[in-house]
Amino acid sequence: MRESDYRAQSFWHESVPGSLAPRPSLAGEQTVDVAIVGAGYTGLWTAWYLASLEPGLRIAIVEAEIAGFGASGRNGGWCLGSLAGLEVVYGEPGAREGGIALQRALFETVDEVGRVCEREGIDCHWRKGGSVTVASVEAHRRGLLEELDELRALGFGEEDYRWLEPEACRALVRSQGNLGGLFTPHCAALQPALLARGLAEAVERRGVRIYECSPALALERGCVTTPNGRLRAETVVRATEAYTKTIRGHARALAPLHSLMFATEPLPEAVWKEIGLPNRETFGDPRRMVIYGQRTLDDRLAFGARGAYYFGSRIFDRFSEHAQAHRVVQEIAESLFPVLRGQRISHRWGGALAVPRNWRPTVSLDRQSGLATGGGYVGEGVAAANLAGRTLADLITERDSERVKLPLVRQPAPAWEPEPLRWLGITGVRHLGESLDRADLTGRPRPRLRGAIFDFFVRK
Ligand SMILES: Cc1cc2nc3c(=O)[nH]c(=O)nc-3n(C[C@H](O)[C@H](O)[C@H](O)COP(=O)(O)OP(=O)(O)OC[C@H]3O[C@@H](n4cnc5c(N)ncnc54)[C@H](O)[C@@H]3O)c2cc1C
């Protein structure tokens, strides 16, 4: 790809100042202590913490495209102190305390991202305005209040989660039919590509080598093979998330799901009065197909929704062929904020996030093979990848920290089924989720059996 192609990946990429021209590729053979595959947040944070903990360590990253090419450069920019599947962790035998500790570590991670950005001079527009999950219909309101009860039972107080009555909620998010919302202060909005690109420069300043346009073809014990070179290393970190299928033998480790976004032109203050988000709060609602929005520093609305899985784990990096899906995302945004009708959309894009077979993110290090992994964030990896990177650095340098005891550290999920079962399963669950969302949004009774099947596949 040329630099202009990288710039065209998303609004975020387009607005990164400076060059997106690829760094040199790996050529020949090199020996390092830690080889990292993938220069998204997971790979870059792992490198940053390793280099900070042990400045003498030789660390190299190989990246198939450019740093921040994947989800890390294109996401919704919610740096949220939460993690997919956390409610399941609480329910696991003996895991309640670990789940609470993990949740608290994620809260703290939001500030850690802000702290490191400040220290490294990464201006990624980090702003901790919190996040609101808005109830647009009665089923949402009931579900959110139940969730709040569960959070209270786990010991999280008003300082972590609080219910906003409709008037207070509308002061933050003026969406249609707003029946109140669940607010957490543990979220910052940021410009994702600026974070990824800034981190890449920060790790280079600490002596980490980044080789771009250097896809890993195979990971063997102590060795990463790319088309024109090899990295030999005692530890190899796989940080390739939705793209993991591109590595020989790892095709079924994670399933890529697409998520689609758009950004408006900068909106005038009169329009923002109708939308809200005075402190750049992020917002969504509890629908299963997941929607997310933020107000950018230059007053655009950046909004997205979860999309499809494609047969054979195919990943799209160009989104011109997704016009219909983008229209649906836009319609959802307009139904929440009718004032958006007629406003100009300046950018449309999308990306792939990774779903593990058990829907639970993990960090792991197999000391026998030297292979470490971090990821499977199911679309909630902006903050989580920082915690994963810190934890991987602790594991690799054999630090007995509190982090390595968190339930994030566990065996990676089992492999997904071969096709066509994978496609049938994921697509089936997606349609179930959509039909449950439709029932909620239209006030029809929730089909119980469908709800139970959806929960079985997504939560268990
Ligand atoms: C549209 C969208 C919106 C999202 N919104 C949010 C959000 O608001 N909040 C949130 O918390 N999460 C969000 N997510 C998820 C979040 O972006 C990811 O969880 C996170 O960025 C994952 O980081 P990563 O480094 O693990 O993966 P990635 O950023 O995908 O990085 C993987 C890297 O590996 C490289 N690579 C792939 N194959 C190879 C190979 N064979 N060899 C070498 N390199 C390779 C890729 O080019 C890529 O740069 C969103 C995701 C998408 C797609």
pLDDT tens figures, 69-94: 999 999 999 999 998 777 777 777 77
Would the CB of 352 count as within 6 Å of ligand 1? yes
| SS3 state of residue 293 | strand
| SS3 state of residue 282 | strand
Q: Sheet harboring 131-134: ordered strands across?
A: 162-164, 181-184, 131-134, 282-284, 291-295, 301-306, 255-264, 345-355
Percentage above 70 pLDDT, the chain: 99
Would the CB of 6 count as within 6 Å of ligand 1? no
Q: Specify whether the CB–CB gap between 163 and 169 falls below 8 A.
A: no
In the reported structure, the alpha carbon of residue 40 is separated from the centroid of ligand 1 by a whole-number distance in angstroms of 6
Would the CB of 380 count as within 6 Å of ligand 1? yes
Would the CB of 242 count as within 6 Å of ligand 1? yes
Within 8 A by CB and 6+ apart from 18, the residues are: 197
In the reported structure, the alpha carbon of residue 382 is separated from the centroid of ligand 1 by a whole-number distance in angstroms of 9
Find tokens 């390595």 and name the residue: 404
Please give the model's pTM, rounded to 2 decimal places: 0.96
Q: What is the chain's mean pLDDT, rounded? A: 94
Q: State yes or no: pLDDT of 123 exceeds 90.
A: yes
> How far, in Å, CA of 128 to CA of 110, rounded?
8
pLDDT at 444: 80
Would the CB of 375 count as within 6 Å of ligand 1? yes
In the reported structure, the alpha carbon of residue 63 is separated from the centroid of ligand 1 by a whole-number distance in angstroms of 12
Q: Specify whether the CB–CB gap between 265 and 300 falls below 8 A.
A: yes
CA angle 100, 102, 107 (to 5 degrees): 95
Q: State yes or no: pLDDT of 460 exceeds 60.
A: no
Q: Specify whether the CB–CB gap between 273 and 267 falls below 8 A.
A: no
pLDDT tens figures, 163-201: 999 999 999 999 999 999 999 999 999 999 999 999 999
Which amino acid would we find at residue 376?
G
Beta bridge partners of 351: 259
Q: State yes or no: pLDDT of 261 exceeds 60.
A: yes
In the reported structure, the alpha carbon of residue 69 is separated from the centroid of ligand 1 by a whole-number distance in angstroms of 8
- Dihedral of the alpha carbons of 54, 114, 112, 194, in degrees to the nearest 10: -60
Residue 212 structure tokens? 């771009």
Would the CB of 47 count as within 6 Å of ligand 1? no
Within 8 A by CB and 6+ apart from 15, the residues are: 191, 193
What is the DSSP code (8-state) at residue 162?
Answer: E
Which amino acid would we find at residue 250?
H
Sign, CA torsion 106/111/112/113: positive
Helix (H) or strand (E) holding 226: strand 223-226
Q: Can you tell me the mean pLDDT for 289-314?
A: 94
Q: Can you tell me the mean pLDDT for 321-335?
A: 90
| SS3 state of residue 125 | coil
Backbone angles phi, psi at 264, to 5 degrees: -80, 170
Greatest mean pLDDT among 86-100, 196-210, 426-440 lies in: 196-210
Q: Can you tell me the mean pLDDT for 128-138?
A: 96
pLDDT at 205: 98
Beta bridge partners of 365: 372
Instruction: Place 323 in a pLDDT band, splitting at 50, 70 and 90.
Output: confident
Would the CB of 231 count as within 6 Å of ligand 1? no
